[in-house]
Amino acid sequence: MARTLEGYWNDLRATKIWRSVFRSGDGPGNLHSSLAVQQNVFLHLASVKMRRKALAFSVTWYLGTLTLATFLILTGTGILLMLYYHPSVPQAYADMKDLQFVVSAGVFLRNLHRWSAHAMVFLVFAHMFKVFYRGAYRPPREFNWVIGVILLLVTLFLSYTGYLLPWDQLAFWAITVGSNIMSAVPVMGGKLRFLMLGGNTVNANALLRFYVLHCVILPLVAFLLVGVHFWRIRKDGGLYTGKVEKS
Amino acid sequence: MEQNEKTVQQQTSQEAPGEATRRETLVKIGLGSLAAAGCGAAVFGYQFLSPNVLYEPSPIVNLGKLGGFPADSVTSDPASGIYVVHAAEGLYALSATCTHLGCLTAWKPELGIIACPCHGSKFNRRGIKVDGPAPRPLNWLKLWINDDGDLLVDKSTTIPAEHFVRT
């Protein structure tokens, strides 16, 4: 017992393999801490340093982080639900029922997906209200606000496309009503509805289109914009703490 | 070096004023091709997203023999979304699709009205709105009787109201 756990830990960190993954090295100075963040593909979106005050609960109520958490839960549970779901008529409804009553933990995953979706819409709005009423949308953060508005639309569209997938009565009529609202767009409304549904009625084409939008296109757009959104926080001078700043 | 610059300047000044340099011309050709490719991609994308063949039910529905529609009656066929009304003036067909946002309405025989479950629009048996948010009366559909005595309705063809088929 000559060696402590910390000794093994330090030996591990000194190995060639470890150093090939984490190049920053360690030491007491700011340099190594900065490098550790800068040289990590996941951490580099965030600032190397941030004000302690910006991490206080009262500043953000952590609403943005909570929104990200629901988005990650939705991605994880959504991928698992895809393993038992066929986007075809009428199989989709039977698959949804199977997830509810037959698949082990299916009801848990489906409900987690559903409740997280509701929570995400709520949290996105709460986050935007918090940003708005604190004035955090003002320059130099005005472009990040615009990205946030687009992310709100992506969230709502994700919610809407997911609505159809259970293929039950609620889904069918909700999308019928929603797509008829879309046809109120001047001049090209009817054409837009036709393109979105892939036909004149909510049918197999519409289910498949909504599935691809819900599972591939919109999540990719969301991931891309979330990346830009976080990167802009760093570029716009970190989280807004209410201080008067130079733009 | 100075000499060279002078010659270059002389060469450029030899070009007629307003004549584009090689670089400007190439940039224009490049941007022009990109614009053409962009327009092509937009047209291609639009055409790809518009299905050319639809596997939707035929809009022409055979509702069976004339005898199934007694005088002074409203017959509802939810599967096809059609009401056939046999009034004193004759037969006519109404679309059961609500003119508000496309929900399927239902005939309420006890109230003598057609009601939409989604947002509460109500219509009388002539399709005229009596309550709710619907902006228009229900559509009157083309109805005819074929040689076999079957009643047919074309859901894709609306006709002006108060056009009856006499029996």
| Cα–Cα dist A144/A228, whole Å | 8
Express each pLDDT in B137-163 by its tens digit. Answer: 999 999 999 999 899 999 999 999 999
Q: Which of B46, B56, B101 sits opposite A201 (nearest CB)?
A: B56
The residues, ordered by sequence, that sit 6+ positions from B112 with a Cβ below 8 Å of its Cβ are: B124, B125
List the one residue out of A116, A109, A74, A97 whose CA is nearest residue A168: A97
Range of the domain at A203: 52-235
- Same-domain status, A80 and A27: no
Q: Which of B51, B56, B118 sits opposite A177 (nearest CB)?
A: B118
| Cα–Cα dist A92/A207, whole Å | 9
A247 lies in some domain: no
Q: What is the pLDDT of residue A137?
A: 93
Q: In one letter, which amino acid is A19? A: R
- Same-domain status, A99 and A207: yes
Query: Quick check: B50 and A176 CB within 8 A?
Result: no
What's A113's domain CATH number? 1.20.810.10
Tokens standing for residue A130: 């918090």
Q: Which of A181, A201, A203 sits opposite B101 (nearest CB)?
A: A181
Distance of CA B45 to the CA centre of its chain: 20
- Same-domain status, A65 and A162: yes
Residue with tokens 């084409």: A205
Distance of CA A118 to the CA centre of its chain: 13
Residues of A in contact with B118 (CB under 8 A): 173, 177
Q: Helix or strand or coil: residue B122?
A: strand
On the question of pLDDT at A135 being above 60, the answer is yes
Question: Considering only A2-6, A82-86, A191-195, which range has the smallest mean pLDDT?
Answer: A2-6
Q: What is the pLDDT of residue B151?
A: 94
Q: Helix or strand or coil: residue A226?
A: helix
Q: From the options 3.10.20.30, 2.102.10.10, 3.20.20.10, 3.80.30.20, give the CATH code of B60-159.
A: 2.102.10.10
- Same-domain status, A25 and A91: no
Express each pLDDT in A137-188 by its tens digit. Answer: 998 999 999 999 999 999 999 999 999 999 999 999 999 999 999 999 999 9
Residues of A in contact with B102 (CB under 8 A): 176-177, 179-180
Best residue of A169, A180, A207 to probe chain B, by most B CBs closer than 10 Å: A180
Q: By the CB < 8 Å criterion, does B51 face chain A?
A: yes
- Same-domain status, A96 and A206: yes
Express each pLDDT in B56-106 by its tens digit. Answer: 889 999 999 988 899 999 999 999 999 999 999 999 999 999 999 999 999
Alpha-carbon distance B50 to nearest alpha carbon in chain A (angstroms): 6
Q: What is the pLDDT of residue A113?
A: 98
pTM of the predicted protein model? 0.86
Q: What is the pLDDT of residue B1?
A: 47
Rounded to 5 degrees, φ, ψ at A167 are 55, 40
- Same-domain status, A180 and A204: yes
Rg of chain B, C-alpha, whole Å: 32
| Cα–Cα dist A39/A108, whole Å | 38
Query: Quick check: A195 and B102 CB within 8 A?
Result: no
Whether B96 contacts B76, CB under 8 Å? yes
From A194, which residue of chain B is nearest by alpha-carbon distance? B50
How many pairs of residues across A and B have Cβ atoms under 8 Å apart?
Answer: 31
Tokens standing for residue A98: 């199977």
Alpha-carbon distance B84 to nearest alpha carbon in chain A (angstroms): 22
Alpha-carbon distance B118 to nearest alpha carbon in chain A (angstroms): 9
Alpha-carbon distance A212 to nearest alpha carbon in chain B (angstroms): 13
DSSP symbol at B146: -
- Same-domain status, A38 and A62: no
Enumerate the domain spans of chain B. 2-49, 60-159
A209 lies in some domain: yes
Average pLDDT over residues B11-37: 84
- Same-domain status, A87 and A149: yes
Whether B117 contacts B150, CB under 8 Å? no
Whether A229 contacts A144, CB under 8 Å? yes
- Same-domain status, A18 and A135: no
Give chain A's contact residues with B (Cβ, < 8 Å): 173, 176-177, 179-181, 194-195, 198-201, 203-205
A244 lies in some domain: no
Q: Confidence class of residue B10 from pLDDT cuts 50, 70 and 90?
A: low
Residues B35-47 as b/e (b if ≥16 CB within 10 A, e otherwise) read eeeeeeeeeeeee
From A183, which residue of chain B is nearest by alpha-carbon distance? B101
Express each pLDDT in B118-137 by its tens digit. Answer: 999 999 999 999 999 999 99
A242 lies in some domain: no
Query: Quick check: B101 and A201 CB within 8 A?
Result: no
From A178, which residue of chain B is nearest by alpha-carbon distance? B101
Residues of A in contact with B103 (CB under 8 A): 173, 176-177
Q: What is the pLDDT of residue A247?
A: 47
Residues of B in contact with A180 (CB under 8 A): 101-102
- Same-domain status, A89 and A13: no
DSSP string, A92-115: HHHHHHHHHHTSTTHHHHHHHHHH
| Cα–Cα dist B165/B66, whole Å | 12
From B117, which residue of chain A is nearest by alpha-carbon distance? A173
From A200, which residue of chain B is nearest by alpha-carbon distance? B56
Give the total number of structural domains in chain A.
2
Whether A168 contacts A174, CB under 8 Å? no
- Same-domain status, A140 and A226: yes
Q: Confidence class of residue A68 from pLDDT cuts 50, 70 and 90?
A: very high
Q: Which residue has the higher pLDDT, B9 or B106?
A: B106
E strand or H helix at B95: strand B90-95
Beta strand spans in B88-160 (E): 90-95, 106-108, 113-115, 122-123, 129-131, 140-145, 150-159
Alpha-carbon distance B30 to nearest alpha carbon in chain A (angstroms): 29
Rg of chain A, C-alpha, whole Å: 23
User: Cis omega (within 30 of 0) on the bond before B51?
Assistant: no
Whether B39 contacts B31, CB under 8 Å? no
Q: What is the pLDDT of residue B16?
A: 63
- Same-domain status, A39 and A58: no
Tokens standing for residue A124: 């996105």
